[in-house]
A and B are shown apart, each in its own frame.
Chain A
């Protein structure tokens, strides 16, 4: 079952990324999806975060419990969201986004667009890597050159493909050259592009030994048990971080994780059992931070084989989508029905509904029959490790049975699932896409634009969709981008290589004395802003 030669060269030709690490489980890629930033183009200025409650205090160890365990610490690979949750505290990016999508300075203090294809960034001069190398512009150049290196096969390359190169002007200034007028540059920098140090990369395995300029340095990793980070005293932001140390543990069972929070074993947890969210919000012993809808949950349809190579069959599915039911039954109300990459609360939300009135079973049946099918058997490839997937599968099975489609729910463990995905043997599967700041650049573009190495639907039937996506990506004017987004969404819905189900909430839960946590569109756990009230 080796990859056929033409499949391989396909990747090489069509995608600059070439090879992609197969562990790029889609649903875990930390920076794809949609949460818009109106002022994405705001030049740098010091915008203080607005969530702060009280005065931060120094000290304490935060015991954090995530859902999944991390796999590797090399930011070029972003193997799993669970890895990013950890290493995003070890590395820094040039710019960051806040809860509302505004851009904040990171390692870059100010930026400006000089011409259509050139951007200039001023850098801090007081940042140090954890190996005591000073941060300079050379590190920025090294980071992006490395990302683009075809021999590395870095997955995150897909998000900075229009970047052609980084030019060092001085120790504290760089210029970035892009292909065409790339509107998504800053959002991409806020999503990927953790700055690494050449000496560190070359002296030890970056997957196991992360060295960054971030607020916490890597101390110890006991596989399958915990990872420990400690405060970096030379962090370039004054006074921060407040915490002395963070210990990350992975607990896959929601109930167990919640119990750990309630007994004080954990100070911060990623998720509680969904059906208890409302009840727990009333509970005075634990605290939920302000949430946000940043995760779209979708169906991926394989458009290269039967039956989803036929437009009518895909549209039948769109007509039959029971989004409200999914939001209520599978997510226990912790999600909002949405037919596009973002949720209704989101600034980008267009409200386009090419299939208004769905679920409409009569229209669904008609669409199916228009392709000559009276009945159909389709296999849904579910990943039991993502608990909502088999649930959605079972619900869809019931729904689709009513229009003559027999949906068989098959379970594949992660590695097999990924194989089915990249070799395009699956017919339909589900995935979530972790939220981003750029609904097209980080979502529709990598997933549905023809030629993208992450186009797992194999979709290339619509030049109009490609044009709409490019139109969005290479526009800088915010108003024009909003219109371009709506247009792209509409075409995407009609073509349906991917079907958006819901957008679900992400809230973190903490002990009452933990302050400063928040859900961010990039889904970073920005623990540099967290403190423990004694």
Chain B
């Protein structure tokens, strides 16, 4: 099968393909980081403080003489964990709630949507900052927090899509045949309504990475010595005038990761909609 044929078959255009490639590469790098790099992001070399890129340290060293490349790779692990973890949490909470609200309507809808609307009255970052202040700086708790704060968006999107699909004739048909609500929701509504949710989820991955980085940057996220791309940016900021690589490398890492997920996300509707397949 040629590349062209694969692209046609799966309705992948260049952008989406690039996005998928980026994400896969970054995930792989994050996974094998311990093996391909110097191995330990904390190793200090006092003879190599704030050295520029080159030689043994392709991306330079920081103020402790730690290899920047190694730290960026390990930082990617944190970013990926944040992305996948938070979105998983948001989906786990948001999909069932949204499905229920959109399909069943009535008082169930009201009970679910009122608190959701209230939560959405706060810009997400504000909620995350306030909660991070309360819960302290543990990566697991932070992922949980980000996931919970972004869950309302998933609820809304899922609900909207479920409402649309729920009114379709074939759903009525299924009900007429005696299928229970649960069965109808899971087997019929969900698969047909999931597409916009997946787009949103993909966008959320990018947002989660940015949120984790922002939190770590202002000091409410991951704590040293754990490498996080956001933390590296904040630590490197004081030396930025003399050692710009300390802020360029981690920043590019964040941009690439988020870009990858966004490109991928843009392509998802095309995957699901045969009418929008790209003409080669």
Q: Chain A: residues with CB nearer than 8 A to chain B?
A: 253-255, 273, 275-276, 325, 328-329, 384, 387, 390-391, 393-395, 397-398, 409-411
Contact = CB atoms under 8 A, between A and B. Distances in A.
A395 B224 CA distance: 11
Contacts of B224: 390, 393-394, 409, 411
B239 interface: yes
Given A329-B49, A397-B42, A409 B223 contact: yes
Contacts of B65: 329
A470 B50 CA distance: 47
Interface of B: 42-44, 46, 49-50, 63-65, 137, 219, 223-225, 237-242
Contacts, number: 51
Smallest CB-CB A-B distances: 4 pairs: A411-B223, A394-B225, A390-B224, A398-B44
5 contacts: A254-B238, A275-B242, A397-B225, A398-B43, A409-B225
Given A325-B46, A384-B219, A275 B64 contact: no
Contacts of B44: 329, 394-395, 398
Nearest to A279: B242
Contact of A255 (B137, B219, B223, B237): B237
Contacts of A410: 223
Q: Which of A387, A410, A411 has the most CB of B within 10 A?
A: A411
A152 B225 CA distance: 42
Nearest to A329: B46
B238 A255 contact: yes
Q: Which secondary structure dominates where chain A touches chain B?
A: helix
A394 B42 contact: yes
A103 B238 CA distance: 39
A395 B219 contact: no
Contacts of A411: 137, 219, 223-224
A274 B107 CA distance: 62
Q: Which secondary structure dominates where chain B touches chain A?
A: loop
Contacts of A275: 50, 63, 238-239, 242
Given A255-B241, A275-B238, A395-B64, 4 more contacts: A329-B64, A398-B42, A398-B44, A409-B225
Q: Which of A253, A254, A391, A398 has the most CB of B within 10 A?
A: A398
A329 B239 CA distance: 13
Contacts of A397: 42, 225
A408 to B, nearest CB: 10
Contact of A328 (B46, B225, B237): B46
A118 B46 CA distance: 55
Contacts of A253: 238
Contacts of B46: 325, 328-329
Nearest to B240: A255
A394 B64 CA distance: 9
Contacts of A255: 237-238, 240-241
A185 B137 CA distance: 46
Contacts of A409: 223-225
A526 to B, nearest CB: 29
A387 B219 CA distance: 11
A517 to B, nearest CB: 24
A398 B65 CA distance: 12
Q: Which of A275, A387, A393, A409 has the most CB of B within 10 A?
A: A275
A329 B237 contact: no
Contacts of B42: 394, 397-398
B238 A273 contact: yes
B244 to A, nearest CB: 13
A409 B137 CA distance: 12
Nearest to A325: B46
Contacts of A387: 238
Contacts of B64: 329, 391, 394-395
A40 B46 CA distance: 42
B222 to A, nearest CB: 10
Contacts of A325: 46
A494 B164 CA distance: 77
A395 B225 CA distance: 10
Contacts of B240: 255
Nearest to A398: B44
Contacts of A384: 219, 223
Contacts of B219: 384, 411
A490 to B, nearest CB: 30
Nearest to A411: B223
Contacts of A394: 42, 44, 64, 224-225
A398 B60 CA distance: 20
Q: Which of B223, B239, B240 has the most CB of A within 10 A?
A: B223
Nearest to A274: B238
Nearest to A328: B46
A500 B237 CA distance: 29
Contacts of A276: 241-242
B251 to A, nearest CB: 17
Nearest to B224: A390
A394 B226 CA distance: 10
A9 B46 CA distance: 48
A329 B44 CA distance: 10
A255 B247 CA distance: 15
A409 B64 CA distance: 16
B215 to A, nearest CB: 13
Nearest to A258: B241
A397 B224 CA distance: 11
Contacts of A393: 224
Contacts of B223: 384, 390, 409-411
A390 to B, nearest CB: 5
